[in-house]
Structure 1
Amino acid sequence: MSVPRRPPALLTAPLLVLALLLTGTGCTSGTAPAKAPVGAPGKGAAGPESDAASVRRESAAAEPAPSPAEIPGLGPLTRAEIPEGARQAFVVAGEDEDAHRSSAVLYSREDLARGWVAVAGPWDAHNGMEGWTDHHVAGDRRSPKGVYSLTDAGGRLPDPGALLPYDEHPRFAVDGEGFFGEPLEGSFDYVVAINYNRTAGVTPLDRHRPLGLGRGGGIWIHVDHGGPTQGCVSIPEERMEELLRTLDPELDPVIVMGDAETLER
Structure 2
Amino acid sequence: MTKDIEAPPPAADASTTAPVHHTPLPVHHIPLPVLMADTGGGEQLITARAPTTRSTTGTVQWWQRHNGRWRQAGWAPARFGAGGLTEGSTRVQGTSTTPTGLYDLPFAFGTTPPPPGTAVPYRRAGADSWWCEDNASASYNRWVAPLPPDCAAGESERLADYPTQYARALVIGFNYHRPVHGRGAGIFLHVNGKGATAGCVSVPAGAMARILSWIRPSAHPHIALDTAYGPTALARY
- TM-score range (shorter-chain normalised) is 0.5 to 0.7
Alpha-carbon RMSD across the aligned residues, in angstroms, is 1.8
Contact map agreement 2:51 2:227 (CA 8 A) in 1: yes
The residue type equivalent to 2:215 in the other structure is: L
Q: Which residue of 1 aligns with 2:31?
A: 71
Per the TM alignment, residue 101 of structure 1 is displaced from its structure 2 partner at its CA by 0.4
Contact map agreement 1:70 1:116 (CA 8 A) in 2: no
Q: Which residue of 2 aligns with 1:174?
A: 161
Q: Indicate yes or no: 2:135 matched with 1:148.
A: no
Show CA shifts across 1:78-98 (max 9, x none): x12322x31111011102111
CA distance in 1, matches of 2:96, 2:182: 13
Show CA shifts across 1:82-120 (max 9, x none): 22x3111101110211111010110110322xx100011
CA distance in 1, matches of 2:78, 2:34: 18
CA distance in 1, matches of 2:176, 2:124: 19
CA 1:159–1:255: 2 relative to 1, 3 Å: same
- The DSSP-based 3-state class of the residue aligned with 1:229 is coil
CA 1:264–1:140: 2 relative to 1, 3 Å: same
Contact map agreement 2:34 2:70 (CA 8 A) in 1: no
CA distance in 1, matches of 2:64, 2:122: 21
Q: Which residue of 1 aligns with 2:217?
A: 249
Q: Greater share of helix residues, 1 or 2?
A: 1
Runs of 4+ residues over 6 Å off in structure 1: none
Query: Where do 1:44-59 residues align within 5 Å?
Result: none
CA distance in 1, matches of 2:63, 2:33: 12
Q: Which residue of 1 aligns with 2:47?
A: 91
Q: Which residue of 1 aligns with 2:67?
A: 111
Q: TM-score, normalised by structure 1?
A: 0.61
Q: Indicate yes or no: 2:115 matched with 1:160.
A: yes
Per the TM alignment, residue 70 of structure 1 is displaced from its structure 2 partner at its CA by 5.7
Q: Which residue of 1 aligns with 2:81?
A: 128
The residue type equivalent to 2:224 in the other structure is: V
- The DSSP-based 3-state class of the residue aligned with 1:173 is helix
Contact map agreement 2:190 2:203 (CA 8 A) in 1: yes
Q: Which residue of 1 aligns with 2:171?
A: 193
Per the TM alignment, residue 74 of structure 1 is displaced from its structure 2 partner at its CA by 6.4
Instruction: Identify the match of residue 56 of structure 2 among 100, 110, 135.
Output: 100
The residue type equivalent to 1:169 in the other structure is: A
Q: Which residue of 2 aligns with 1:236?
A: 204
Q: Greater share of strand residues, 1 or 2?
A: 2
Q: Which residue of 1 aligns with 2:194?
A: 226
CA distance in 2, matches of 1:216, 1:142: 10
Q: Indicate yes or no: 2:217 matched with 1:263.
A: no
- The DSSP-based 3-state class of the residue aligned with 1:141 is coil
Gap regions ≥5 residues in structure 1: 1-68, 176-184, 200-209
CA distance in 1, matches of 2:86, 2:37: 19
Q: Indicate yes or no: 2:39 matched with 1:82.
A: yes
Q: Which has the higher contact order (CA 8 A, sep 6+)?
A: 2
Instruction: Identify the match of residue 93 of structure 2 among 110, 113, 138.
Output: 138
Per the TM alignment, residue 213 of structure 1 is displaced from its structure 2 partner at its CA by 2.2
CA distance in 2, matches of 1:110, 1:126: 29
| Larger of the two Rg values belongs to structure | 1
CA distance in 1, matches of 2:55, 2:48: 13
Show CA shifts across 1:7-29 (max 9, x none): xxxxxxxxxxxxxxxxxxxxxxx
CA distance in 1, matches of 2:73, 2:219: 14
Q: Tell me the number of residue pairs that the alignment of Structure 1 and Structure 2 aligns.
A: 171
Show CA shifts across 1:150-200 (max 9, x none): 13001111122321000012232125xxxxxxxxx411010100001113x
